[in-house]
């Protein structure tokens, strides 16, 4: 029986990974990726060949179909991170902490994209890369800077349990700030930033509105797809580590060390 122990360990590891793979976040990822590519392709076709040119801004206005969806999806992603954090505090399940972490991580990437495209649009339209007296721009920057402290805060806490708890509290409070900030901006009287989403359906004609909605769906699908990709990778790495621990024991693993990512 001794000579079979390596075979048994290998067989245990293989069966563990096979039985675990059915529960990963990769389920349906291929179909979601195809839908994302198709929707974004359709959005680009509508942007360049269907949506009319703006009478005042001309071709540069078409960056609006990228900038605004990026901003909206990033803000919704921050709120989703807070919702996932509530699940962690209620259940104590660390998987909710991982979902919250990845959602905030992705939202920061999309938010940076929104800032860059917005600055390009502002330079072409207003002659300035940034306008400090515009509440929409400044409030969006405040939200980004707030969530930019999320990962450094996590990294500063070495204990995994305390790290997950404090990060969840931060995500909930910061996530609640996003809609409150949005309401405050909508109540502002002085602004030059265009208002796209209003109670009357927005200030867009039919062709522009359709293009905008398709672009918004495409960016939202891209966010979900990238979120599932990262969750799948992290979940597979954690499952592999548990499998190695079961086969080799604690001595066969390197210490994780301090990290901002959930361990």
- The residue ranges of every structural domain in the chain are 26-49+59-252
At residue 237, the pLDDT reads 79
At residue 241, the pLDDT reads 74
At residue 39, the pLDDT reads 96
At residue 244, the pLDDT reads 75
At residue 170, the pLDDT reads 95
Which stretches of the chain drop beneath a pLDDT of 50?
Answer: 1-5, 8, 12-13, 16-17, 19-22, 199-201
| Contact yes or no for 147/103 (Cβ under 8 A) | no
At residue 8, the pLDDT reads 45
DSSP 3-state percent helix, strand, coil across the chain (nearest 5): 75, 0, 25
| Contact yes or no for 37/222 (Cβ under 8 A) | no
At residue 125, the pLDDT reads 79
In the beta sheet, which residues pair with residue 58?
A: 54
């Amino acid at each position: 029986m001794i000579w079979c122990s390596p075979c048994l360990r290998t067989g245990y590891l293989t069966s563990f990974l096979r039985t675990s793979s059915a529960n990963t976040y990769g389920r349906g990822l291929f179909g979601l990726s195809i839908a994302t590519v198709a929707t974004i392709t359709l959005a680009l076709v509508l942007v360049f060949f269907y949506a009319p040119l703006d009478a005042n801004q001309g071709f540069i206005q078409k960056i609006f179909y990228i900038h605004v969806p990026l901003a909206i999806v990033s803000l919704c992603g921050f709120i989703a991170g807070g919702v996932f954090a509530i699940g962690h505090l209620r259940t104590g399940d660390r998987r909710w902490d991982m979902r919250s972490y990845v959602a905030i991580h992705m939202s920061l990437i999309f938010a940076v994209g929104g800032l860059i495209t917005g600055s390009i649009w502002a330079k072409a339209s207003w002659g300035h890369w940034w306008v400090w007296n515009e509440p929409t721009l400044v409030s969006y920057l405040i939200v980004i800077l707030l969530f930019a402290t999320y990962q450094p805060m996590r990294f500063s806490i070495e204990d995994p349990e305390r790290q997950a708890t404090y990060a969840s509290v931060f995500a909930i409070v910061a996530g609640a700030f996003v809609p409150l900030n949005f309401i405050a901006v909508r109540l502002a009287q002085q602004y030059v930033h265009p208002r796209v989403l209003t109670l009357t359906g927005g200030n867009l004609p039919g062709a522009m509105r359709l293009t905008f909605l398709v672009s918004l769906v495409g960016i939202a699908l891209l966010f979900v797809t990238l979120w599932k990709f990262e969750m799948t990778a992290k979940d597979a790495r954690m499952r592999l580590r548990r499998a190695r621990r079961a086969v080799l024991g604690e001595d066969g693993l390197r210490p994780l060390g301090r990290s901002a990512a959930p361990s």
